[in-house]
Amino acid sequence: MDAEITVTELTPDLADTVVRLCEQALDLPEDATEAAAIVDVLWPRAAADRPVVGLGAYRGADLVGVLFCSVSSTEPGIGHVDLVAVHADQRRRGVGRALLGRAEQVLAERGVTEVLLAGNPPYYAWPGIDVRYTPAVCAALALGYQQDRTAWNMTADLSYDGSPALRSTEAAERRLADQGVTVRRAEPADLPALTAFARSTFGGTWDGELAGSVGRDGAGCHLAERGGEVLGFAAYGSSRPSWFGPMGTAPAAEGSGIGGVLLRRCLRDQQAAGLTRAEIGWVGPVPFYSGSAGARIERVFFLYRRTLSVA
């Protein structure tokens, strides 16, 4: 007979144990290999920006599942479940249900009225539930969550030097230089101008993702400027080492080729770091990434939400 499931709040000293469980419980190799980065971005890094709670499910003395949830820093009353990982031999035995039930209680105590099974930028590891995690999709539906959006990632192949993702940018950079545009690697001193540009031009939380990219190990950013004015940027590694994004070009500079140059400069950095593929996360302009880097849609995510009942 199974021992009873106990759910308790995780403490920072359990980080290594949580990473080991995620390495075993995340079925997709691209997630399992980055388990340490995923735990880092969703727990200590996110906690510096918003309320975050880590929950562990125990059967007896064994940790068999973990969950991270957080409160939105931009949308009052909205909470997010950022990760649920259950050991393979414990699935369909009530562990995920116990974790999600406790997470809803924890979030409700913090004023949340609606819970999203979706990424909570700027600190997230997925847009939602990868459709290949079928048990998670089934659990979400069984618990009354409704699918309301679909998102996707594209993949750029960095495994060989002739890849479209690694095409030279030298000629395009010379052409831009003739127009007074400088393209270079961003430095920490550029952050104020970059974040101001991102906030005023695009809104959202890209300023936070830029802060997680510029000057951080395993991450980076390139920018284009003219006369000291930022015209565009492209960043990578903010949430996960293999992920590219965000990037943005000033509306007045669209069509100039700046975006493709910045994108491929970042992808070359990622290849130099030993990566054979880069994931372009939560993609909007599919044709741009297909044309500029030969990227393909390879990951699809369902995003869910549920309104909490009032006690």
For the chain, the average pLDDT equals: 95
Res. 1 pLDDT band, cuts 50 70 90: very low
Output the six-digit token pair for 72: 């939105």
Is residue 184, in this structure, part of any structural domain at all? yes
Q: Which long-range contacts (CB under 8 A, 24 or more apart) does 133-141 make?
A: 133/27, 133/28, 135/86, 135/91, 135/92, 135/96, 136/84, 136/96, 137/302, 139/84, 139/96, 139/97, 139/100, 140/302, 140/304
Neighbours of 35 (CB within 10 A): 21
- Domain count of the fold of the chain: 2
Res. 12 pLDDT band, cuts 50 70 90: very high
Residue 99 has pLDDT above 70, yes or no: yes
pLDDT in tens, 20-53: 999 999 999 999 999 999 999 999 999 999 999 9
- Distance, in Å, from the CA atom of 170 to the CA atom of 159, rounded to the nearest integer, reads 21
Is residue 285, in this structure, part of any structural domain at all? no
pLDDT in tens, 267-288: 999 999 999 999 999 998 999 9
Is residue 280, in this structure, part of any structural domain at all? no
CATH of the domain at 194: 3.40.630.30
Segment 109-114 shows an average pLDDT of 96
Is residue 196, in this structure, part of any structural domain at all? yes
Residue 310 has pLDDT above 80, yes or no: no
Is residue 286, in this structure, part of any structural domain at all? no
Q: What is the pTM of this model?
A: 0.94
**Residues 20, 133 within the same domain:** yes
Exposure string (b/e) for 191-215, b if CB count within 10 Å is 16 or more?
A: bebbbebbeeeeeebbbbbbbbbbe
Residue 135 has pLDDT above 90, yes or no: no
**Residues 130, 89 within the same domain:** yes
Residue 2 has pLDDT above 80, yes or no: no
Segment 236-245 shows an average pLDDT of 96
Res. 90 pLDDT band, cuts 50 70 90: confident
Q: Range of 259's domain?
A: 159-275
- 8 Å CB contact between 283 and 127: no
Q: What does the pLDDT read at residue 3?
A: 75
Res. 204 pLDDT band, cuts 50 70 90: confident
Is residue 186, in this structure, part of any structural domain at all? yes
Res. 65 pLDDT band, cuts 50 70 90: very high
Residue 198 has pLDDT above 50, yes or no: yes
**Residues 147, 243 within the same domain:** no
**Residues 143, 229 within the same domain:** no
- 8 Å CB contact between 300 and 130: yes
- State CA 100 to chain mean position distance: 21
pLDDT in tens, 169-193: 999 999 999 999 999 999 999 999 9
Handedness of CA 286, 289, 291, 294 (dihedral sign): negative
Res. 311 pLDDT band, cuts 50 70 90: low
